[in-house]
Amino acid sequence: MLLEDILEEYDYYCISKGFTRKTLINKRQELKQFKRFMTEKRGIVELESITTHDIKAYMRYKQKSGLKPQSKMIRAFFSWMVLQN
């Protein structure tokens, strides 16, 4: 499944759960950065191709860039994915 498609589906899920506007904005921003990293830096466009090594690389990339990785948001996304399958 394309990473872009599943992230859009997750966004709809978050909206349906009634997350606040601020939370939705934060989730969208973090997942947009995550998708950009996976596609541009790792060459990954399929969700099934992402490994734990890729996720750890993303966290290191954010830290080296001086940004705080939102690991809770990434973890919530992958937890939701597990429940979907």
Instruction: Identify the band that residue 7 occupies on the pLDDT scale cut at 50, 70 and 90.
Output: very high
Nearest Cα to Cα of residue 50 among 82, 23, 28, 12: 82
pTM of the model: 0.90
Encode pLDDT of 35-84 as tens digits: 999 999 999 999 999 999 999 999 999 999 888 878 889 999 999 988 88
Structure tokens at 21: 């506007």
Q: Residue 48: its pLDDT value, please?
A: 93
